[in-house]
């Protein structure tokens, strides 16, 4: 049985994962309107992935005798200025999610809830990948700068990667 303290912390993480899905969805819509189909597909796919992260937490809380709650969400930004700004925002968001996961892991150790601690190790590993991916993309965007041709090629590369189900290799 999950403690009330851990149930509350997990419900907070559910909200963060749901918000992450919305952030990616908003970025997908913005990129699509800007004409970057590949980046939009990448963001749509990641929005779905973040929702699955949320659902995994919901099921875990309920299976452990807690009650997962569906949170109200804030509307994410709908405008990002530039691709560099958008990917910087994405990287900063992923760092925040990692910090939240780490705090949650810390609470499980304080509470001696090793089952939840073990469950969360998947999220720890996932966040390492998410941060690395966001950093890698941001590095590429910084290399491209304001070169429209470079952004076009980057968008095509991202589209092919999403099509191959291997976006983590960007």
Residues making up the annotated binding site are 17, 50, 53, 94, 127
Annotated binding site for Fe cation: 17, 50, 53, 94, 127
Cα–Cα distance between 128 and 23 in angstroms, integer? 19
Cα–Cα distance between 19 and 139 in angstroms, integer? 25
- The per-residue b/e assignment along 95-111, b for 16 or more CB within 10 angstroms, e otherwise, is eebbebbeebbebbeee
Cα–Cα distance between 67 and 10 in angstroms, integer? 10
Tell me how crowded residue 69 is: count the other CB atoms within 10 A of its CB: 15
């Amino acid at each position: 049985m999950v403690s009330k303290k851990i149930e509350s912390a997990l419900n907070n993480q559910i909200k963060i994962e749901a918000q992450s899905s919305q952030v990616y969805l908003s970025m997908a819509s913005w990129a699509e309107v800007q004409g970057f189909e590949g980046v939009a597909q990448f963001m749509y796919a990641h929005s779905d992935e973040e929702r699955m992260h949320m659902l995994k937490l919901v099921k875990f809380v309920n299976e452990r005798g807690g009650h997962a709650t569906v949170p109200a969400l804030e509307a994410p930004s709908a405008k990002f200025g530039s691709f560099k700004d958008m990917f910087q925002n994405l990287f900063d968001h992923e760092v925040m999610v990692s910090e939240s996961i780490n705090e949650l892991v810390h609470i499980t150790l304080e509470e001696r809830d090793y089952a939840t601690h073990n469950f969360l190790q998947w999220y720890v590993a996932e966040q390492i990948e998410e941060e690395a991916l966001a950093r890698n993309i941001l590095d590429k965007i910084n290399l491209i700068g304001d070169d429209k041709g470079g952004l076009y090629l980057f968008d095509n590369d991202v589209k092919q990667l999403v099509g191959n189900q291997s976006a983590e290799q960007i």
